[in-house]
Structure 1
Amino acid sequence: MSKKSYFIFIFLIAFCHQLFSQEESQNTFSLTELLQILESHSAYTFSYADEDLKNIEVPEPPNMLSVTETIAFLQEKTGFKFTLIGEHQIIVDVPIPVEQKPEKITVEELDEVILTNVIAKGVSKIKDGSFKINFDEIGIIPGLIENDAFQTIQALPGVESVNEKVSNINIRGGTNDQNLILWDGIRLYQSGHFFGLISAINPHQNHTVSLYKNGTPATHGNSVSSVIELSSAKKLNDDFEAEVGLTFLSADAFIDTPLDKKSSIQIAARTSINGAFITPTYLQYYDRAFQNTEIANTNQNAINTEEDFRFSDVSFRWLYQLSEKDLLRLNYFSIANELSFTAEEFNQNSMETKESTLSQNSLGMGAFYKRNWTENFSTQLQLFHSNYHLNSTNRILNTNTFFEQENNLAETAFKISSKWKLNERFELNSGYEFSSTTSRDAEADEEITNEDLIENRLNVNNLFSSLRYQSSSRKTLVHLGARINYFNDFDILLAEPRLSFNQQFLKNFSVEVLGELKSQYLSQIVNFQNDFLGIENRKWQLADQLNFPITKSRQASIGVNYQKNNWLASIESYVKKVEGISSQSQGFQNQYEYAQIIGDYRIVGLDILLNKKFRNFDARLSYSLTDNDYFFDDLSVNEIPNNFEIVNSFTFATSYSYKNFKASGGLIWRTGKPFTPISANGLANNQFDYEPINSNNLKDYMRVDISVSQEFKIQKKLLAYAGLSIWNLLDRENIINSYYRQNDNNQIYLVEQKALGLTPNFVFRVKF
């Protein structure tokens, strides 16, 4: 064992021993003392009459300092009412005698939580089967120093990225294009910077993230896998807040300020730092992003080369409280990745300069309006336009080849919905959505003209409705819904029922049953040979019912949850089938790389989660087991292991927090993805002689990550935050993809794509 490995092993043993040697607390607190502790560990303040809370004692909450769940606990134990006023103030009231008639205050409804702090402080499992992350309360995640939403959800069981990219999140066997990703209701078609390695949405503008793996609300469509909802804060900000930060990859700024008593605005901006200086972290990400691409390969033969890569994003959100009953929200975002590569070569005794470029950009605009007509009835209106554009120009050295490619996707959508609380137990949600999506694709060996463009458009009308029932005891919760999709261009009508059922039993247990039928009319096709300099190999494609049919999915799951005395556990089994997938969207790099066939995949899986909290310590284990296979009728093989199958996935993590200091460490281990080797002969009939498809697996993937952070005061209204993370602390070489190619001398060689090695990152932020 190396000295470094020995040190890490001793560290983890000592850390775990300290965790499990903690004793459970049987302490009680005065209510005022507990509220003061909550104030010191959160952004909330509590207002109350001292006389009302005098001599009130409460037991220590099971998951202390998780604000939403602690309030629910205190309400149950004391009978007092906790009302959120504004963004950060909570009013505490004692029960009022019946004869008094106080003025009613409208309060935002809180989610029904069944498990709290499931992977870290601020991460909860909701009764409808979804997971919710509150970034105002979030604890620290191993390997992360900022609240990257797409990295954080990968700590949940059933959520993987086979190649470590946030733009390639695989949820229960699905490809990334099968996920619906929304930011404040606007669809995102580009989720990553650095061509997929880090989140493209500024992490400091995300207030919450919700993840639906099954039992998706009927309001969401056009995805056969999961739904990932990113949301900014929904409340007006009464005070000026600003932050500036610097990491080894980027610099950013964030402002949240009131414009007047009825409106507030958020603006966030970020840019890569390589224009000013280069860090070792940036070089690690650069090498990871461009390995085995035309940029890396051309670099070996060029005389003089110069690369210029930048990424940036800007996002904007404005809230305007028109009246006590009316709220307006406007959103905008712009995301950009820009690469240019210049190289020189001798041509007929003269030096010739050639430049290749690649740009990946997204733009989104949205408007949201909500009116509360009465206490029991409200309506919402959502409009958005989202545009994704990918373009490359490739001038290949030692040839006269010029190749230009373009892929553009634009969607405009309109949604209106209503929420009607029929009584204390029933609530009806209904609405209509119209979306119009256009794709444009072009390739040319000269500059692209209108004649080269292939354009497709698809209009879809949707009706959706769901009925929510909650028993008077609050032990039973049912969401029963349906979505009706009409595809105008194909004259096709699809019905999609949805179910979410949760039943509490034996006080600390609950059982949940989820089910859904879904469809989508978008996919990303992959061509590893020549797409966009080999850096971004995926382009969006609309369904045409010929080569690309509408994809459909069916999923059912059943799970049991348990929470008591700072223990929580969850086990869930599921079966999911997705029909109508194109082989071109699955990333084959073997004998079926050029196949254009339609098939299905079926996955059967088990997700397990276990968490234990010991005062300032937290420990969690998660495990996923899956069997994921393709079925293509046009192939002689009946079942093929899915390209994204991860049979076993295991995560262990621990964290510690004391006042404003946080530390965490974790281990991730999973089996390697399927791989197709070639025979000993290598070639047969001038083609690769492959073994049976996906008959082997890459080496197991293993990674150890750590993070530490500290927040401290510089002045009375000036705070600072510093954080350090190390990704892949043991510097293990993980191979995340392998395939065969042939060089100019007809020699066969194996291409191995490596994951990030030991990669430190540092952040320093100043908060005003």
Structure 2
Amino acid sequence: MSKKGVFYLFITLFFLNASRTYAQTNSKKKLPLVEIILQLEQKFNINFSYLDQTVENKTAVLPDDELSLEDVLKFLKSETNLDFIRINDTNIVISKRSNPFSSFITQKLEEVVITNFLTKGISKKSDGKINIKTEDFGILPGLIESDVLQSIQALPGILSVDERVSSINVRGGTHDQNLILWDGIKMYQSGHFFGLVSAFNPYLTKEVNISKNGTSVKFGDGVSSVIDMTQSNSLDQDFIAGAGFNLINADGFAKVPLNDYTEIQVSARRSVTDFIFTPTYDQYLQRVFQDSDFSNPQQGSSEVISNNERFYFYDIATKFLYDITDQDQFRFNFLTINNKLTYDQRSDDDSGIPLKNELIQNNFATGFQYLKYWNSKLTTTAQFYYTGYDLRATNFDIASSQRTNQDNRVNDLGVKINATNHIDDNLKLHGGYQFSEVIISNAEDTNNPDSESFIKEVVRTHSIYGEAEFTSASKSTYARIGLRTNYIEKFSEFFTEPRLSLSHKLSNDFRLEFLAELKSQTTSQIIDLQNDFLGIEKRRWILSNNDDIPIIKSVQGAVGIHYNKNKLLISAEGFIKDIDGITSRSQGFQNQFQFTDAIGKYQVRGIDFLINKQFDSFSTWLSYSYSQNDYEFDDLNDGNPFPNNIDVRHTATFAGTYTINDLKLALGVNWHSGKPQTLPLSIQDDTNTQIEYTTPNSSRLSDYFRTDLSATYQLRLTNRMNASIGASIWNLLDRKNVINTYYSEHTNGDIVTIENVSLGITPNISFRVRF
């Protein structure tokens, strides 16, 4: 046969064979991907990790038996349009379409050293921070939804002495010393219903990271803690939506893919309290307004009637995602939070037009971010943001025929540039530059007599930082060390802040941890008068002027040891924190120091202890914290230390969760010792126009005790639609907890004791659908 004939014969046989192979392949029946995964796990002795929605409705042909694992993964990738990323020899992650460096980046994720910390969805990372994944979140006592700022109070060392999410105390710090970030944007308002409901919708918040110490140098401000919330940042290419309601608000959210490269995420929530009166709203109303002008009708000698009250809140969040290329990502964010209260007042003998009192609080935030994957090692991000906060009030005093307008306004403009370089499997470097311009103004005008004041401060800060993260080859040692330098233009001052996070695995069961940091911040909150802003939102934001309002600086360190074996976790962490540069006006004194302007500091020393045992369907834990928190003001109490206003020495929680099929139950008991108070002297000097007090904070309120219960049940309505119902009872035993006591002088000279009490028995129910 000629060479030409041999060539044609070869071509004919090739195509016949290819056609036969193609026919055989296409004759195979496609199977659900989940079934194929189970067979491959047994065949190759491997484990696949994935989200249920990632593999849902995905099908593929069963790969041929003779194929290697590598060829199987390539085949399935082409069949399903999913990524199959090998983490190591035995673990493979299945994810939706991502950038071309996803394999490398996935391997660089921070190590989780403790999973299901207290409940499902909470974990502890190797750098010491606590991570909450809201999609995987289980259940906590008293909560039927994953309220971000309520949930973190289950962690040791974090509580709110007055039950408000706008007053979270992390290891003895005040709320304004927490840096609260929403997708990298600083937030100045954290609560709805003036502090009883978190202002951040959890259903588009993908995860929350809480750092009590040893934070990354990427974060400025927040001398007490960092609460970093992030929304989903990847394109799911699936339509997901949900809606629900409870006895306080109704909400909805949606993730809508516009095409293969763009997606929009939207969430909205609004209170229903101005339409429906519920037992939950009744309890919240009593709690928030019990010490306000709205609830205290006596003004002077006239009887004042308050009525026609209307209160509502809402929040709207939007995120636009655009993957320009596989290596370039653009993100745009928008968030608005609003609370509004109006009510009429008139004297009981006045038939004229009532006077309208008003309180409006809102936080607006927007920004965009550009992310660039240069190669498998280098990633850069650039973010520009603006956040604005406004608190306004109009208050009428009928007895004196006086009207007061108050306004506290914050404008924060910032730029963040960051670069991350993965040197190798063990070393990662971060570096960056940040600029912020913060403008805060406080205005007040009063008639009868006419008076007006306006104060405006501007602070511009330039920051550069560098940081190295190291993980040993054996994964037994993790270290992160960094340095941040802040330059404040107005004061021409540099602040150098080293940070350190170190953990070492002593054995398979024991891990030792050391955290330390220096920080500074120029923003804080003060109280001028207890009835500012109708007595509901008394705190107003101010800026440091490096004179009577200094820059706040902190030094803190912590050492911890953790034992984790057979789902038993025992953890102990000792800490010390020094905060310098606080003002007495920022501490909310209601004793002899109420109108004193002094500069001082406080020191907190303590220990957090936790024991958590998990079973297949049951988790229980006992946490206990002891701390001593003392002030030191040169101009107060003769310079002698005295207890901090939020010096809660002992705190304990005993709780458990139980899951059986689609039913989740949680029950918990919360206890802490009473916070300090200052009693009036038993014998007062009649010639003195002010109340005389004993030694500051030398007495304490009664202990706080609260029992909470919650339950949720999941329903599968259709293949695409799920639903859940939930019920909870806060303060199940209806215990009266006094959370604050102060004193005022009546017109006849008697001293009046005023008590603020906690929420009573507060039921709530919810219903949600997701599709």
Task: Specify if TM > 0.5.
Answer: yes
Residue 200 of structure 1: aligned partner: 199
Query: Per the alignment, do residues 692 and 476 of structure 1 end up closer, same or farther by CA in structure 2, a change over 3 Å counting?
Result: same
Per the TM alignment, residue 711 of structure 1 is displaced from its structure 2 partner at its CA by 1.1
Query: Per the alignment, do residues 120 and 556 of structure 1 end up closer, same or farther by CA in structure 2, a change over 3 Å counting?
Result: same
With the length of structure 2 as denominator, give the TM-score of the two structures: 0.88
Residue 743 of structure 1: aligned partner: 746
Per the TM alignment, residue 638 of structure 1 is displaced from its structure 2 partner at its CA by 1.2
| Identical residues among aligned pairs (%) | 38
SS of equivalent to 1:378: strand
Residue 382 of structure 1: aligned partner: 383
Contact 1:299 1:305 in 2 (8 A): no
Per the TM alignment, residue 52 of structure 1 is displaced from its structure 2 partner at its CA by 9.9
Q: Does 1:290 align with 2:289?
A: yes
The structure having more radius of gyration, on CA atoms, is 2
Residue 16 of structure 1: aligned partner: none
Deviation string 1:664-695 (CA, Å, 9 cap, x unpaired) is: 11010100111111121145623212111000
Per the TM alignment, residue 389 of structure 1 is displaced from its structure 2 partner at its CA by 0.3
Residue 530 of structure 1: aligned partner: 531
Contact 1:41 1:659 in 2 (8 A): no
Q: Does 1:211 align with 2:210?
A: yes
Residue 343 of structure 2: aligned partner: 341
Deviates more, 1:445-454 or 1:416-425: 445-454
Deviation string 1:540-568 (CA, Å, 9 cap, x unpaired) is: 00000111000100001111112111111
Deviation string 1:409-428 (CA, Å, 9 cap, x unpaired) is: 11000010100112222211
Residue 81 of structure 1: aligned partner: 92
Task: State the AA in 1 paired with 2:569.
Answer: L
Residue 163 of structure 1: aligned partner: 162
SS of equivalent to 2:491: coil
Per the TM alignment, residue 658 of structure 1 is displaced from its structure 2 partner at its CA by 2.1
Per the TM alignment, residue 397 of structure 1 is displaced from its structure 2 partner at its CA by 2.3
Query: Per the alignment, do residues 275 and 48 of structure 1 end up closer, same or farther by CA in structure 2, a change over 3 Å counting?
Result: same
Distance in 1 between the 2:630 and 2:750 partners? 32
Per the TM alignment, residue 104 of structure 1 is displaced from its structure 2 partner at its CA by 8.2
Distance in 2 between the 1:31 and 1:395 partners? 72
Task: State the AA in 2 paired with 1:84.
Answer: S
Contact 2:734 2:761 in 1 (8 A): yes
Task: State the AA in 2 paired with 1:630.
Answer: Y
Deviates more, 1:41-50 or 1:498-507: 41-50
Query: Per the alignment, do residues 40 and 511 of structure 1 end up closer, same or farther by CA in structure 2, a change over 3 Å counting?
Result: closer
Residue 488 of structure 1: aligned partner: 489
Distance in 2 between the 1:722 and 1:420 partners? 46
Residue 69 of structure 1: aligned partner: none
Deviation string 1:393-436 (CA, Å, 9 cap, x unpaired) is: 11122331111111001100001010011222221100000000
Per the TM alignment, residue 451 of structure 1 is displaced from its structure 2 partner at its CA by 7.1
Per the TM alignment, residue 703 of structure 1 is displaced from its structure 2 partner at its CA by 0.5
Per the TM alignment, residue 606 of structure 1 is displaced from its structure 2 partner at its CA by 0.2
Contact 2:322 2:329 in 1 (8 A): yes
Deviates more, 1:638-647 or 1:35-44: 35-44
Residue 588 of structure 2: aligned partner: 587
Per the TM alignment, residue 41 of structure 1 is displaced from its structure 2 partner at its CA by 7.4
Question: What are the within-5 Å matches in structure 2 for residues 176-575 of structure 1?
Answer: 176-298=175-297, 301-303=303-305, 305-345=307-347, 350-446=351-447, 452-575=453-576
Q: Does 1:734 align with 2:741?
A: no
Residue 699 of structure 1: aligned partner: 702
Distance in 2 between the 1:755 and 1:309 partners? 20
Contact 1:346 1:352 in 2 (8 A): no
Deviates more, 1:743-752 or 1:30-39: 30-39
Alignment size in residue pairs: 708
Distance in 2 between the 1:405 and 1:444 partners? 7
SS of equivalent to 1:195: helix
Distance in 1 between the 2:393 and 2:101 partners? 62
Contact 1:682 1:748 in 2 (8 A): no
Query: Per the alignment, do residues 496 and 712 of structure 1 end up closer, same or farther by CA in structure 2, a change over 3 Å counting?
Result: same
Query: Per the alignment, do residues 52 and 211 of structure 1 end up closer, same or farther by CA in structure 2, a change over 3 Å counting?
Result: farther
Deviation string 1:620-665 (CA, Å, 9 cap, x unpaired) is: 1111110110011123141110111110100111101122211111
Per the TM alignment, residue 569 of structure 1 is displaced from its structure 2 partner at its CA by 1.9
Task: State the AA in 2 paired with 1:473.
Answer: S
- Structure 2: give runs of 5+ residues left out of the alignment: 1-37, 67-85
Deviation string 1:170-224 (CA, Å, 9 cap, x unpaired) is: 0011100000000001111000001111101112121100000000100100221
Distance in 1 between the 2:385 and 2:249 partners? 28
Deviation string 1:455-496 (CA, Å, 9 cap, x unpaired) is: 111100000110111111111111010100000000100100
Contact 2:395 2:405 in 1 (8 A): yes
Distance in 1 between the 2:422 and 2:564 partners? 30
- Structure 1: give runs of 5+ residues left out of the alignment: 1-27, 55-73, 90-101
Contact 1:222 1:521 in 2 (8 A): yes
SS of equivalent to 1:284: helix
Q: Does 1:688 align with 2:688?
A: no
Distance in 2 between the 1:745 and 1:321 partners? 71
Distance in 1 between the 2:699 and 2:223 partners? 28
Contact 1:386 1:411 in 2 (8 A): yes
Contact 2:445 2:452 in 1 (8 A): no
Query: Per the alignment, do residues 43 and 755 of structure 1 end up closer, same or farther by CA in structure 2, a change over 3 Å counting?
Result: farther
Distance in 1 between the 2:607 and 2:595 partners? 33
SS of equivalent to 2:203: helix
SS of equivalent to 1:533: helix
With the length of structure 1 as denominator, give the TM-score of the two structures: 0.88
Q: Does 1:646 align with 2:659?
A: no
Distance in 2 between the 1:546 and 1:717 partners? 61
Query: Per the alignment, do residues 49 and 624 of structure 1 end up closer, same or farther by CA in structure 2, a change over 3 Å counting?
Result: farther
Query: Per the alignment, do residues 30 and 569 of structure 1 end up closer, same or farther by CA in structure 2, a change over 3 Å counting?
Result: farther
Task: State the AA in 2 paired with 1:399.
Answer: S
Task: State the AA in 2 paired with 1:666.
Answer: G
Query: Per the alignment, do residues 733 and 378 of structure 1 end up closer, same or farther by CA in structure 2, a change over 3 Å counting?
Result: same
Query: Per the alignment, do residues 104 and 221 of structure 1 end up closer, same or farther by CA in structure 2, a change over 3 Å counting?
Result: closer
Distance in 1 between the 2:476 and 2:648 partners? 35
Distance in 1 between the 2:417 and 2:696 partners? 47
Deviates more, 1:172-181 or 1:527-536: 527-536
Per the TM alignment, residue 244 of structure 1 is displaced from its structure 2 partner at its CA by 1.2
Query: Per the alignment, do residues 509 and 303 of structure 1 end up closer, same or farther by CA in structure 2, a change over 3 Å counting?
Result: closer
Per the TM alignment, residue 143 of structure 1 is displaced from its structure 2 partner at its CA by 0.2
RMSD after superposition: 2.7
Contact 1:42 1:137 in 2 (8 A): no
Task: State the AA in 2 paired with 1:731.
Answer: D
Distance in 2 between the 1:325 and 1:491 partners? 40
Residue 615 of structure 1: aligned partner: 616
Contact 2:705 2:735 in 1 (8 A): yes
SS of equivalent to 2:156: coil
Deviates more, 1:650-659 or 1:546-555: 650-659
Deviation string 1:687-737 (CA, Å, 9 cap, x unpaired) is: 212111000111100111011001112222221111001100000000111
Per the TM alignment, residue 590 of structure 1 is displaced from its structure 2 partner at its CA by 0.5
Distance in 2 between the 1:631 and 1:104 partners? 52
Task: State the AA in 2 paired with 1:488.
Answer: E
Residue 61 of structure 1: aligned partner: none
Deviates more, 1:707-716 or 1:552-561: 707-716
Query: Per the alignment, do residues 473 and 220 of structure 1 end up closer, same or farther by CA in structure 2, a change over 3 Å counting?
Result: same
Deviation string 1:258-277 (CA, Å, 9 cap, x unpaired) is: 01111111111111102321
Distance in 2 between the 1:560 and 1:119 partners? 17
Residue 599 of structure 2: aligned partner: 598
Contact 2:341 2:360 in 1 (8 A): yes
Contact 2:270 2:313 in 1 (8 A): yes
SS of equivalent to 1:690: coil
